[in-house]
Amino acid sequence: MRLAIGFVCAGLAAGAAPAALGGNPAAGKVEQRVLTDTAGGRQASFLIQLNAQADLSAAYSMRDQDARGWYVYRTLKAEAERTQGPLRALLQARGVSFHSYWAANLIAVHGGDRALVEQLAARRDVGEIEANDPAPGLTDEAPAPELNAFLALRAPAVVEPGVAKVHAPELWARGFTGQGIVIGNQDTGVRWTHNALKPHYRGWNGASADHNYNWHDSIHGQIAGTANPCGYNTQAPCDDLGHGTHTTGTTSGDDGAGNQIGVAPGAKWIACHNMDQGTGRPETYTECFQWFLAPTDLSNQNPNPALRPQVMNNSWGCPTSEGCAPDTLRAVVENSEASGIFVEGSAGNAGPVCNTVTDPPAIYEATFTTGAIRSSDTTLAPFSSRGPVLVDGSSRLKPDVVAPGVGVRSSLATSDSAYGSLNGTSMAGPHVVGVVALLWSARPDLVRNIAATKALLRTTADPNVVVLPTQTCRETPSGQIPNNSFGYGLVDALAAYNGRRTPPRRCVVPRVVGLKLPVARRKIVRAQCRVGRVTKVVSSARKRGRVVAQSPRPGRRFAAARKVNLKVGRGPRR
């Protein structure tokens, strides 16, 4: 899986279109990676997606949110029980190990051969057979030199710059800190005893801990290359890599001693461990989604959908190039939304190229996808992935919004008092999750109303994001709102609360005559204008490479993205 500090997830091979089985008409159901994995008599782990999927449309009109959670849970369970029986019987008869999941009506097979794949593909009740291979999950996105170092430590800023940038303190001042909201975070785990996290853990009552319904470990055995330092099937939160501790801190962390790292410190958090030291499988992610839909006790018994979170952070991605077909996680994400869980996902760190939002769950319509800006200003981070989404043929606009994702200081897993800075859309996403918690604590009428909340966050986002250089992704220039570079803009808690959008800035033409061309270009873009036609003209040697004339003249005001034409000296005529 690809964590969004640029961390990587497990995935499927590129070109993950279903492949042919020697001319068999059932061939279109099987992913090429599965055929590769089962070639030469080998056995592999793969997912069986059933055709039958539960109809959850009635859930969206239910006012009693506990009843809504139970309805979704019971409907999904009933559909799985009704349709999976024949497949389970077949697998048992073949002596094949498997695990069934009701959250998306799929069965994970552990150790199936090509003959089994062909037998399954020929069945009418089987929709697709997709890979369940592990892959490295957390890879640093290698920030540009001007960005903060990967773990650069610095003194606390009391309220972190990113927290202030999304205007969280303004809602705190009105008495809204995320109280009454539960945030679910699936990641590398959490160091729950950290000073900034422990007071906000739902499993801590101030005197003792109860991890039932508050923690789940979907890592049941070794997936990564080395033994997990936390162990497997852990009964208390543990972070095997540090990423989850950092993202949880940004959603809701505060140690009460000056480290105000979280956007919604009044919210509670729960967590699910979905990767083994940054390496996961589509199955481990599915298991976490299922647990969030109906949290269980530590024995994985007695599920209770009434204890599901309101909003879920997903600072990871499952690349189609390594393990997830485009639709592998779509049903479970959509079912989570039907249950009333706001699913946020980080866009990824493959920018600045267009069409780089490529990984589930960020690609889905049901996922609210977050890109990253610098924490020091509103410039789009170079690494932030851009849309549109092409891997599923949708051309869907992504990301939805952006948030601070460069040099974000939060909790570290090295000790209970450690803090450090990370870069990535993994760091941006938790800001959005915190904003949702703040908004829902302030506006109870919006709680679990996903469509209305998404619309409000989009229409009130600050569109004054700077893209250097300007770009056009799929015929949508970055000066147009929304766009495939930063979506609708910077998420804004105060504007969402007030229901009023920050007005777009106008292009105020700056004076650039006398500046070198690269400097002039940056100045024009930062003024919300665009660089137009650049013409080279004869000039003195001293003015070679510098702007000698511009049009329109400095100080004129236009709508954003107005072109500024330049004449640049090329030196004396030879």
Digit-coded pLDDT (tens) for 355-400: 999 999 999 999 999 999 998 899 999 999 999 999 999 999 999 9
Q: 85-92, long-range: CB within 8 Å, 24+ apart, which pairs?
A: 86/125, 87/48, 87/50, 87/120, 87/123, 87/125, 87/126, 90/119, 90/120
336 noted as active-site residue: no
- CATH of residue 329's domain is 3.40.50.200
pLDDT digits (tens, 9 = 90+) for 528-538: 788 999 999 99
pLDDT digits (tens, 9 = 90+) for 182-208: 999 999 999 999 999 999 999 999 999
224: in domain: yes
537: in domain: yes
Choose the final residue of a domain: 479, 504, 529. 504
User: Is pLDDT of 9 > 80?
Assistant: no
Catalytic residue among 426, 441, 478, 485: 426
pLDDT band at 549 (very low <50, low <70, confident <90, very high): very high
78: in domain: yes
DSSP state of 306: G
pLDDT band at 146 (very low <50, low <70, confident <90, very high): very low
Helix (H, G, I), strand (E, B) or coil at 568: strand
Residues 97 and 31 in one domain: yes
Residues 560 and 415 in one domain: no
pLDDT band at 321 (very low <50, low <70, confident <90, very high): low
379: in domain: yes
pLDDT digits (tens, 9 = 90+) for 238-266: 999 999 999 999 999 999 999 999 999 99
Which residue, 159, 197, 133, 162, is CA-closest to 424?
A: 162
426 noted as active-site residue: yes
What is the pLDDT, as a whole number, of residue 293?
98
175: in domain: yes
Catalytic residue among 187, 240, 254, 492: 187
- Overall number of domains in the chain: 2
Q: What percent of the chain has pLDDT over 70?
A: 90
306: in domain: yes
Residues 409 and 549 in one domain: no
What is the pLDDT, as a whole number, of residue 319?
84
Residues 496 and 540 in one domain: no
What is the pLDDT, as a whole number, of residue 14?
33
What is the pLDDT, as a whole number, of residue 156?
52
37: in domain: yes
**DSSP conformation letters of 156-205:** --EE-HHHHHTTHHHHHTTT-SSTT-EEEEEES---TTSTTTGGGBTTB-
Catalytic residue among 243, 246, 273, 431: 243
User: Is pLDDT of 148 > 60?
Assistant: no
Residues 469 and 457 in one domain: yes
Cite the DSSP H helix spans in 347-396: none
What is the pLDDT, as a whole number, of residue 500?
77
384 noted as active-site residue: no
- How many Å apart are CA 250 and CA 260, to the nearest integer? 9
- Span 49-68, mean pLDDT? 96
- CATH of residue 541's domain is 3.30.10.20
What is the pLDDT, as a whole number, of residue 559?
79
Range of the domain at 564: 507-569
What is the pLDDT, as a whole number, of residue 147?
35
- Span 217-232, mean pLDDT? 95
User: Is pLDDT of 272 > 50?
Assistant: yes
Residues 491 and 515 in one domain: no
CB contact at 8 A, 228 and 284:
no
Of 154-158, 209-213, 242-246, 284-288, the range with the lowest mean pLDDT is: 154-158
- How many Å apart are CA 78 and CA 347, to the nearest integer? 34
Amino acid at 308: R
Helix (H, G, I), strand (E, B) or coil at 21: strand
Residues 265 and 377 in one domain: yes
Choose the final residue of a domain: 486, 504, 522. 504
What is the pLDDT, as a whole number, of residue 364?
97
574: in domain: no
Residues 264 and 303 in one domain: yes
Residues 515 and 369 in one domain: no
Residues 339 and 380 in one domain: yes
Q: Give the mean pLDDT of the chain.
A: 90
CB contact at 8 A, 134 and 323:
yes
Choose the final residue of a domain: 476, 504, 532. 504
Residues 131 and 181 in one domain: yes
Residues 547 and 472 in one domain: no
